[in-house]
Structure 1
Amino acid sequence: MTLSEADVIVIGGGTGGYSTALRAAALGLRVVLAERDRVGGTCLHRGCVPSKAMLHAAELVDGIAEARERWGVASTLDSIDWPALVATRDDIVSRNHRGVVDHLAHAGVEVAYGSARLTGPRSVVVEGYGEVRARRGIVLATGSRPRTLPGLVPDGRRVVTSDDALFAPGLPGSVLVLGGGAIGVEYASFHRSLGAEVTLVEAADRLVPLEDPEVSRHLTRGLKRRGVDVRAGARLVETELVTDGVRATVRTARGEIRTVEAERLLVAVGRAPVTDGLGLAAAGLTADERGHVAPADWSRLETAVPGIHVVGDLLPPPSLGLAHASFAEGLLVAETLAGLATAPVDYAAVPRVTYSSPQTAAVGLTEEEARNRGHEVTVNTMPLTAVAKGMVHGRGGMVKVVAERGGRVLGVHLVGPQVSEMIAESQLIVGWDAEPSDVARHIHAHPTLSEAVGETFLSLAGRGLHQR
């Protein structure tokens, strides 16, 4: 295949882009995927995969302390071999990258490595390849980059973003994290596990402010118990670079001025869509004030220019900027371009996970969102320590279910150990509009943490056993 023409041109090889390309190719379409760096995008190379590898290592470190302090196992942590830890992380990333590259090749996707820009509603110029025309459509999947704050210029050592925090040299003895969303909380948790003194500053009045307040409370309690200095409702006033790190002035929620010194400052205040050099105007498109390219038709993720679709971080809310949502968006767009009947992405049923210690996982509406939308709700909350396996773990946590009174489940919210692996059934419960009585008919294994989910639904269905 030459690059001069294809059925579909995908700009950006991250999760949204390569999933679009693979599905379109599987449906018999000829696909060109333009990527200016490495396929896999931020998630594979700088975000989801390497950060979760490091968080797994952090879990192992935490387990050594728990074995000694709680279970009478005479264990000690002699040292952390940082180069060995990094080598394992990089091997995981490398093997995943090779897998994606091989998968694309096997599927017949032509990958054009170079910057790409739109030259019209059906044409793209790829650096080093020339112009490519799309018979069916173009998919924009250029992803996002970290936002920063005025005056904070990342240098990869003292001031870092989520893109380079994992790759900064060595382990810092102290870290100031700006931003209490999922990314900031995960990095705060990781560095604390590996021995750093951590201050976590969030401008909103609570951590993970988009989640249910009870999730925030349990998460904050867990982080504080581990020694993280959590400062919600606080703002950065100014920063100064010093020889061995940064000196920051922070205004607390009470209006007090506090000076925080740390070897490293991690800026985790969100991400911005990447549209520079994309040539949106040449195709008749514009970005909104935050840089997103909004679809005119959310059921097809198609823009106001017919045949140009958007997936991933370029999308505004209700898209969530999550890798697994991007996979679903890629499948939808590929099938739309192939002429198949499709169903829109149900963003309410997309799970949201924070992989800190403790973890959080949620799907659907918070209690406040449900009430604000006019639902008359019934709510049940159960601590994980109310079931035997929760006592075994001994790290607190909870299950919270929000349901319509006499109707379907609207949201499920979890905090605690390994809840990222427990959210899948709740995704189905919310996505399939199940009622508590539907769930209560099914038996959860005993003893497991997921048993607490089952017990919560049993109580809502009027059949509670262990919950008062």
Structure 2
Amino acid sequence: MSETDANTTDVLVIGGGTGGYSTALRAASLGLRVVLAERDLIGGTCLHRGCIPSKAMLHAAELVDGIAEARERWGVKATVDSLDWPALVATRDGIVERNHQGVAGHLRTAGVRVVKGTARLTGPRTVRIEGAGEFTARRGIVLATGSRPRLLPGLAADGRRVVTSDDALFAAGLPASVLVLGGGAIGVEYASFHRSMGAEVTLVEAAGRLLPLEDEDVGRHLARGLKKRGITVRTGSTLTGTELLADGVRATVRTPKGEELVVGAERLLVAVGRAPVTDGLDLAAAGLAADERGFVAPADWSRLETSVPGIHVVGDLLPPPSLGLAHASFAEGLLVAETLAGLPSRAVDYATVPRVTYSSPQTASVGLTEAEARARGLDIKVNTMPLAATAKGMVHGQGGMVKVIAAADGAGGDGGLPWAWGSPRSNEVESGGEVESSGKTGAVLGVHLVGPQVSEMIAESQLIVGWDAEPADVAQHIHAHPTLSEAVGETFLTLAGRGLHQH
């Protein structure tokens, strides 16, 4: 085989994170020749610096919290004598490495050629990979270069006193105090982890509530749970100044009342969002450009194809309505691979992608918030049930809630969910190129959970929202007693007019 033949492929994927490697695996399984270029490690941020290592650490935090609960609530006289940080880190890194080797093995088995090196576009079908030469992609190129943490102007991370979400877990040891800047999912998770490990934690969020993109009641219940654990939560507050000290930071925080508070901490953890990575990609060489926020927007959301035919985008490079979540990236990768293989494409339904925060308490949501539904002028019914109203909720003792938003009778089955980027939902049909509604009414528009292990409870609600089920459809199914999930069932029973314990 000549060098030219060796560097000609069907699909070339730039970036080996969740979106990139899922595209590569699916494309290869469909018989396409695939080259995957990755300049760092296969698995990307999620596997090596984000989702997996952070959830491993949060599990360790749950164990510590469980010992405290056993002592304080249940009379089990147990204490944490000490924390072997190197052992904890070794377990975390072992989990990450096993996942890394697993993904690399899947790629090898699938026949994907992984090329280590920085890749840049040289045309609409050509890519140069550092150290490996120029490659031609017959079917298409997939951009999956991911994102990096945002920093505030004038504030540089040094990996010790000021850290980002990418390096927070890898800083030396555990600090005695942490100031977390940013009350989104990442900031909340890190605040929760450090508090479990004994740190004094202050959480600062500029918006008026935590998780500002989620339902207002989610943010309220979450803040209540975090404050109960001893975390200082300051919403509607901004960082106005930072002074680096030999052993930490001294920050000035402006409250909603205009007060200037001085907060000292060993570590400032900045979690104010992530920015797409396009530097060095040379988009212009292929006739592309990033938007003002740095995203590469598709011209066709049903195919995730850019304005240059054959160049597709997945993962964190996509602007909203994409969610920047690993599990959404998997779906995007499947869609793009199947599109490049010539299979019928169907847009990713972002409205039914679950959103989870793995703090203590956890949050999990799918579909519209109450505010979003009302902003669309929808006639809705809302029911909220505290988890503490159930026996299992009392056992856990963490509070929390189930909140369901449904279209009122006659409001219309699709309820204005933000799904319609070119393809129909499952209960609708295409006719003459137009989408005709099935006419269902009273569909569930959104479900929002706060409490222990709700990340494992959201799958049911994802199906409920995704299949346009009505409360009456759910109410006929029996939830096990005693469980936390029966609160979900009870909430739907009440909306269906069959309330048992809730009136």
Q: TM-score range by the shorter chain?
A: over 0.9
**CA shift digits 1:373-421 (9 cap, x unpaired):** 1210000000001111111111100000000002100000000000000
Matches of 1:436 and 1:158, distance apart in 2: 50
Matched, 1:410 2:445: yes
Matches of 2:132 and 2:104, distance apart in 1: 19
- Secondary structure of 1:446's counterpart equals coil
Shift in Å at residue 161 of structure 1? 0.1
Match of 1:420 among 433, 455, 462: 455
Q: Counterpart of 1:97 in structure 2: which amino acid?
A: H
Matched, 1:429 2:464: yes
Matches of 1:387 and 1:267, distance apart in 2: 37
Please provide the CA RMSD for this pair. 0.7
**CA shift digits 1:202-234 (9 cap, x unpaired):** 000110000001000000000000000000000
- Secondary structure of 1:325's counterpart equals helix
Matched, 1:49 2:52: yes
Say if 1:58 and 1:190, in contact at 8 Å, map to a contact too.
yes
**CA shift digits 1:119-170 (9 cap, x unpaired):** 0000000011100000000000000000000111001000000000000000
Q: Counterpart of 1:118 in structure 2: which amino acid?
A: L
Shift in Å at residue 343 of structure 1? 1.1
- Secondary structure of 1:120's counterpart equals coil
Match of 2:85 among 82, 86, 108: 82
Matched, 1:158 2:193: no
- Secondary structure of 1:200's counterpart equals strand
**CA shift digits 1:165-208 (9 cap, x unpaired):** 00000000000000000000000000000000000000001100
Specify every segment of 5 or more residues in structure 1 that has no aligned partner in the other structure, as ranges.
none
Matches of 1:187 and 1:254, distance apart in 2: 27
Matched, 1:321 2:352: no
Matches of 2:373 and 2:342, distance apart in 1: 36
Say if 1:3 and 1:32, in contact at 8 Å, map to a contact too.
no
Q: Counterpart of 1:414 in structure 2: which amino acid?
A: L
User: 4+ residue stretches of structure 1 with deviation over 6 A?
Assistant: none
Q: Counterpart of 1:442 in structure 2: which amino acid?
A: H
Matches of 1:242 and 1:370, distance apart in 2: 47
Match of 1:255 among 255, 258, 271: 258
Say if 1:3 and 1:129, in contact at 8 Å, map to a contact too.
no
Q: Counterpart of 1:356 in structure 2: which amino acid?
A: S
Pairs within 5 Å for 1:280-291:
280-291=283-294
Q: Counterpart of 1:261 in structure 2: which amino acid?
A: G
- Secondary structure of 2:261's counterpart equals strand
Match of 2:496 among 445, 461, 466: 461
Q: Hey, what does 1:108 align to over in structure 2? A: 111
TM-score (normalizing by structure 2)? 0.93
Shift in Å at residue 3 of structure 1? 4.1
Q: Counterpart of 1:424 in structure 2: which amino acid?
A: A
Pairs within 5 Å for 1:8-157:
8-157=11-160
Q: Hey, what does 2:372 align to over in structure 1? A: 369
Q: Counterpart of 1:431 in structure 2: which amino acid?
A: G
Matches of 2:377 and 2:40, distance apart in 1: 46
Q: Counterpart of 1:345 in structure 2: which amino acid?
A: V
Matches of 2:351 and 2:14, distance apart in 1: 27
- Secondary structure of 2:122's counterpart equals strand
- Secondary structure of 1:21's counterpart equals helix
Matches of 1:23 and 1:301, distance apart in 2: 16
**CA shift digits 1:293-327 (9 cap, x unpaired):** 00000000000000000000000000000000000
Matches of 2:180 and 2:223, distance apart in 1: 14
Match of 2:487 among 412, 427, 452: 452
Say if 1:401 and 1:412, in contact at 8 Å, map to a contact too.
yes
- Secondary structure of 1:392's counterpart equals helix
Match of 1:348 among 346, 351, 357: 351
Q: Counterpart of 1:11 in structure 2: which amino acid?
A: I
Specify every segment of 5 or more residues in structure 2 that has no aligned partner in the other structure, as ranges.
410-441
